[in-house]
Structure 1
Amino acid sequence: MSAAQPHHPDRRRLLRAAVAVPAAGTVTASALAAGAAPARAAGASSRPGRFDAGSPRFALAVLPDTQYLFDADSADPEPLRATFEYLVHQREEANVAFMTHLGDITEHGTKDEIELAADTFGLLDGRVPYSVLAGNHDIASGDDQRGDSPYLDSFGPRRFRSAGTFGGASPDGYNSYHLLRAAGREWLVLALDWRVSDAGLRWAQGVLDAHPTVPAVLTTHDLVWAEDDGTAHLSDNGTRLWDGLVRGNDQIFLALGGHYWPPGRTVLTNDAGNDVHLHITNYQDRYYGGAGMIRLYHFDLVRNVIDVETFSPWFLSRDADDRTPLEAETVELTGPVDRFSLAVDFADRFRGFSPAVPPKPRPAAAVMPRGTVAYWRFDASGATMPAAGAPVPDGTVVRDLSGNGNDLTVGRVGAGDRQALTFSADHHPGQPAHASLRFDGGKNPDRGAILTTGPRAPLNSEKFLRGYTIETYIKLPEPFEGDHAWMGVFSWQGRNRDAGKTTGWSPLEPTCSLNVSSERFLQYVVYPERQDADPTSWSHALPVGRWTHVAVVNDGRRTVVYVDGSRIARNPTQRSTGIATLGKPFTLGATQFDERFGQGFYGWLGDTRIVDRALSPKHFLTPFD
């Protein structure tokens, strides 16, 4: 539609910086704009990529008004063909879950225009799932009760019945809903006619009621209009949708419309007190009727953001030297309403209608792979513990659930303090056992707690010549108060000089220990059995108030430390074979120096496991892909 509001867009800035399609190996929009070879030229015959429904990162493609590309005898579908080919053949790299059109597919809604557009959309059929909806230029008049039309013949429910994401349509055929699986969960797209009747609103409410735990994106043609600075406001029809459907349904967190220009966005608060993002996306006023411009909404459930980029695949596919000035100006839009990020804490935003279900505890037998040397957990399967917050008495035995006899016994350091070790129900969300121990150690040698193996435990003398994996869970308090520099997490007791080692910071430190520095960096230092060396790994600063999974992995040649499944940077290249154990106890909660405990651990420790071989992250206690 031509702009119904007296607003005119500013000329957008030329592309200056990279826009990342979030996947390694992708030829990004910016790279193409700079002249890189396109990943696939339109019309080529390479196979489309696959979509990864389990990845926490995916993209929703949004295509606004394409009416000037289907305008009687001046129609040119080539830009849209390039857009669809891009989506098909970049689907794997950008992890495109779905594409939604915002209406005004054609200029006049004639049979010829509609059929040409329908033939062009056929490039997506069976390759990228999508939705469409009628704009005012696609139909003659009226609301969704208008009856038959060329639009309905080509873009009605019959077109989508074989699509795996198609959920259904309203009885009139002009409204539809689509269910897609992305980031390991279901998402709903509501595609509503540009003028939804009361019956259509009741149908849409019924769809939401039938899927009460599924987050929803509402798409329609006429929703908001924007001022020149991008500030968006509800249109009259948008107000009706807001009052009649959106504000009362917390599931709808994002609503998208076209129809007007310039583009813009706003955030409104629904009846549940949560944000709803409302955007207008329309580029028909730009050169070549928008040239098949698309938006990619990149959902990132790890970073809790939605990153948005806007570009024309048709222009991107051309060599930069061959672009005309207007093509170069329109190739990608980088203004604040075209390229931006939305901060969305997805778990928190969806909690009201779809609360996260915490994973159930996993039995010990399910997390003891071949080669498990020791496995300790602090729930009822591992020990008899007091009530949460109560002190864990000295002498309490935490069984080694591997059955190898490496039980741990609780003790206090120095005179001891009963509160130096308490039982806690707090735990890492991915931890097999739903329990932990809270250590309240400090530099005072009379305040601390330790858990140690017995004098005859096999672990005391285990050499691990073929490799090992040592895992634990750590949580540092927030606020992190006091001086806790070099507090020990775990260690083998004894002096490295007694193992014949001559390198390292001091001959009095133990042969293997995991510690936390004054900067909250992890330090893993080991004196290997086969080398006179002390290869040491250093992490980044650990967060406070949040659980962290730590894994030390040695393959018999060198050691790599992982934090939350990610390999840290500062891992030594020195050869490291085995651990120069001395037959002395393994300890949780502190590190010795000259066979004396000084700095007790301060924070929480969870499940701890030792395996006599290198494990990959997907086989850690919390699996990481």
Structure 2
Amino acid sequence: MPTADRYDWAFDHVPDSQLYAQATPDLMTHQFEYVAGVAAERKTKLVLQSGDWVNREYLSQEYQWVNAEPSARALEDANLPYMISWGNHDYSDARNGRVMLPKYFPMERFERSLEGSPWRFGGSDNIDNYYYTAEIDGAKLLLITVGYFSADNAADPGLAWAKGVIEAHPDHAVILANHNSVNQGVNGWSNDNVTRALIDPYPNVKLVLGGHIAGTGVASRPTAGGNRAYGVLTDYQSRVYGGQEYLKHISVDAENDLIYFNTWSPLLGKATSDGNWHHKVPRGRDPRLPRRGLGELRPGDRPRRQHEADPGRHVAHRRGRRAAAGR
């Protein structure tokens, strides 16, 4: 993991926590307390949770939302902005399936989490879609999430809303947080609605972060204007105890256009994993990891060496000048 003097700011991608909330809530609390505890040292500007915050949205299972509350409060008490990209276990279209989510996480709660930070609450659609904007180290950023059921239906108004948000911010580098978006392994994408509607048409969509599918993966795809978007899957839920507290630390070196992805388990004190969470990139299937950071990702970028699909050691390559967002 890079030392803090090697990057300018950071954010964390915490994977599906559903089984912690259901059965091992102390591990979930410990994981989020760890994230809050290292935030100052890591220069953390935001925490992104990948969705499936709980395992059941039922009224009869409200104890899971109660179990997860100390984790959210750990971030709030540390004044850490956060976003949850809602998953299929957090809500549903069945009767009473959309009660718990807005009860515990009205949009005002997310907006309050941004106070005193570089992030601004941009707006929302329904209970599951919302976005933030920020300017950090000269880069204009747009972080947007579309909930699982909005993204699962090509005709859902949430997708049209998200397209409008991206189109209204052409000078922002877009980070898209969607629960179901990136597949396990190398160069796999899991949701055609997301790729067709929210990634491919927009040259400023730079990074896609997903969960939902147990495993890890890295992917890339061409976008409009000859640019390229990159995806990372982070989901450890099917490991023992609900995930062994594994997460991804993401560190941004704006000066040199580098992004570091590092796997870490505060429970185990380990920086690597195995099984479906540790893939070699086969020859000929390299996802064309970039030499440039979030600001500029252009065609023809090729890595100087092979990387693992579990980005525990992955770092985007050095280009030697500050990112210019949206190009």
- With normalisation by structure 2, the TM-score equals 0.77
Identity %: 24
Give the Cα–Cα distance (whole angstroms) in 2 for the partners of residues 344 and 141 of structure 1: 46
Counterpart amino acid of 1:128?
L
Q: Judge conservation of contact 2:218–2:231 (CA < 8 Å) in 1.
A: yes
The 5 A counterparts of 1:50-449 are 57-71=8-22, 75-109=23-57, 110-125=61-76, 127-141=79-93, 148-162=98-112, 163-164=114-115, 165-196=119-150, 198-226=156-184, 230-235=185-190, 238-316=191-269, 331-333=270-272, 335=278, 336=308, 337-339=310-312, 340-343=314-317, 353-354=326-327
1:348 CA displacement: 9.3
| Alpha-carbon distance change, 302 to 171 in structure 1, aligned in 2, over 3 angstroms | closer
1:217 CA displacement: 0.6
* 2:180 partner SS: coil
Give the Cα–Cα distance (whole angstroms) in 1 for the partners of residues 81 and 246 of structure 2: 18
Give the Cα–Cα distance (whole angstroms) in 1 for the partners of residues 133 and 73 of structure 2: 20
Say which is worse superposed, 203-212 or 303-312, in terms of deviation: 203-212
Give the Cα–Cα distance (whole angstroms) in 1 for the partners of residues 102 and 318 of structure 2: 36
1:345 CA displacement: 5.2
Give the Cα–Cα distance (whole angstroms) in 1 for the partners of residues 109 and 33 of structure 2: 19
| Alpha-carbon distance change, 341 to 256 in structure 1, aligned in 2, over 3 angstroms | same
Q: Judge conservation of contact 2:91–2:98 (CA < 8 Å) in 1.
A: no
1:223 CA displacement: 0.8
1:332 CA displacement: 2.5
Which structure has more relative contact order (CA 8 Å, sep 6+)? It is 2
Q: Judge conservation of contact 2:237–2:243 (CA < 8 Å) in 1.
A: yes
* 2:74 partner SS: coil
Structure with more helix by fraction: 2
Counterpart amino acid of 2:82?
Y
The answer on 1:22 being equivalent to 2:4 is yes
1:349 CA displacement: 7.8
1:302 CA displacement: 2.3
Q: Judge conservation of contact 1:306–1:344 (CA < 8 Å) in 2.
A: no
Q: Judge conservation of contact 2:29–2:68 (CA < 8 Å) in 1.
A: no
1:113 CA displacement: 1.0
Give the Cα–Cα distance (whole angstroms) in 2 for the partners of residues 313 and 140 of structure 1: 32
Q: Judge conservation of contact 1:147–1:172 (CA < 8 Å) in 2.
A: no
1:147 CA displacement: 7.7
Q: Judge conservation of contact 2:182–2:208 (CA < 8 Å) in 1.
A: no
Give the Cα–Cα distance (whole angstroms) in 2 for the partners of residues 295 and 333 of structure 1: 11
| Alpha-carbon distance change, 159 to 225 in structure 1, aligned in 2, over 3 angstroms | same
1:64 CA displacement: 0.9
1:90 CA displacement: 1.6
| Alpha-carbon distance change, 166 to 113 in structure 1, aligned in 2, over 3 angstroms | farther
Counterpart amino acid of 2:252?
F
| Alpha-carbon distance change, 287 to 189 in structure 1, aligned in 2, over 3 angstroms | same
- With normalisation by structure 1, the TM-score equals 0.42
* 1:176 partner SS: strand
Give the Cα–Cα distance (whole angstroms) in 2 for the partners of residues 187 and 240 of structure 1: 23
Counterpart amino acid of 2:317?
A
| Alpha-carbon distance change, 149 to 341 in structure 1, aligned in 2, over 3 angstroms | same
Deviations 1:371-415 (A, max 9, x none): xxxxxxxxxxxxxxxxxxxxxxxxxxxxxxxxxxxxxxxxxxxxx
1:259 CA displacement: 0.8
Q: Which runs of 5+ in 2 are unaligned?
A: 279-307
| Alpha-carbon distance change, 63 to 221 in structure 1, aligned in 2, over 3 angstroms | same
Counterpart amino acid of 2:129?
N
Deviations 1:192-233 (A, max 9, x none): 20122531112112222332211111011111222xxx2141
* 1:264 partner SS: strand
Q: Judge conservation of contact 2:146–2:177 (CA < 8 Å) in 1.
A: yes
Residue of structure 2 equivalent to 1:447: none
Q: Judge conservation of contact 2:138–2:324 (CA < 8 Å) in 1.
A: no
